[in-house]
Amino acid sequence: AGISASSAILIEPFSGRVLYEKNAHEKRPMASTTKIMTALVATDMANPDEVLCVQGDCVKIQGASLYLEEKEELTLMDMLYGLLLRSGNDAAAAIGKHVAGDSSHFVSLMNRKAWELGMHNTNFANPHGLDDDEHYSTAADMARLGAVFLQAPLLREICKTEEYVSRELTTGKVRLFINNNKLLARDPRALGIKIGWTENAGRCLVAAAQVNGMELVAVVLDAPDLYTDVSKLFDYGFGKWRAQEFIPRGKVMDIVPVAQGKAARVALTTAQPLNFPVTAAEAISYSVHLDAPVLLQAPISPGQVVGKALVTVEEYVIEIDLVAASPVRKKVGLWSRLVNWLHNWWQR
């Protein structure tokens, strides 16, 4: 494909299927693509409406900046826009301090999240991505992170926004954040995510794109020609693969008995479809293992998650939530009905 990047990968994010890789498991610095994790941990731990007061040790941090001043107050939402669009290193520090009390605690939360996500070749040393020997990842790990980031509706919306105006809450001072990810303007398929650069890391990009309902995530690290690289990867991915629906949304996977229910049993259906990227020449089979209870307890509401289907396609295991297809109300016994009747009669 003639990719300039030292490391690169292309995946389909729902299945995790790898469509292309080049040195994808090589540990490298990843610059400001770090802020993908900063944003993810912040929205896990805090409400976007919270007001954040900028501390003195979070201003005048080198590199890209929002030029925050001590004691300024902004919502976490405004800070997230500044973090992901303008790549403010001061915003990263301020978010970390607000969410976890201090930077080192926030970094430990980032590393715990990385471990949970299976990013086993990644270590974070700070929330912004400035060079540090203990701060590194791989293209494969960053693609996994990008896939999880895309599942968060707020973050997905922020990273594709062209520009955003933030407002300081005490003085009313406004700042304009313009998205520094030029792929959004260059490639109509792009859904955004995050770009980064340091002297040591080179130019880095975690990018997502969509065509005909299929999404792909591309990562390039140390890529002199990062936008061309990523567009080439998307050309290759969308040109060669298509998403095949193996299991539709709402398919009945099991029927489970219900204890103390007005209905004796309830159907469990898939909460989302299972799509898997295939080439024209491939004939792929799959197997399903259900992780569902043998008995459910009423009451049950429709759409309630009650189990999982573990679908194995090739070497990939994909989890799909199983939900109750219909409501099941609790059966009220004779004694309870009598008590309710007496209670209602007494209230007259």
Residues labelled as active-site residues? 32, 35, 87
d(CA 147, CA 154): 14
Phi, psi (degrees; rounded to nearest 5) at 181: -90, 100
**How big is the chain by its Cα radius of gyration, in Å?**
24
Q: Hey, what are 250's tokens?
A: 């709402």
Contact 204, 223 (CB under 8 A): yes
Region of 27 on the Ramachandran plot (φ > 0 left; ψ -120 to 50 alpha; else beta) = beta
In 54-200 the beta strands, taken as DSSP E runs, fall at: 73-75, 163-167, 174-178, 190-198
Neighbours of 310 (CB within 10 A): 13
The answer to whether the beta carbons of residues 273 and 243 sit under 8 Å apart is no
Q: Which tokens hold the place of 18?
A: 């790898």
Residue closest to 196 by CA, chosen among 344, 63, 333, 57: 63
For the chain, give percent helix, strand, coil, nearest 5: 30, 35, 35
- CA 105 to the chain's CA centroid: 21
CB-facing half-sphere around the CA of 63: CA atoms within 13 A: 21
CA 322 and chain centroid, separation:
21
Q: Which residues contact residue 112 at a Cβ distance below 8 angstroms, ignoring those fewer than 6 apart?
A: none
The helix or strand, by DSSP H or E, that contains position 144, with its residue range, turns out to be helix 139-150
Task: Indicate the angle between helix axes 35-45 and 103-116, nearest 10 degrees.
Answer: 100
Judge contact between 217 and 150, C-beta under 8 A: yes
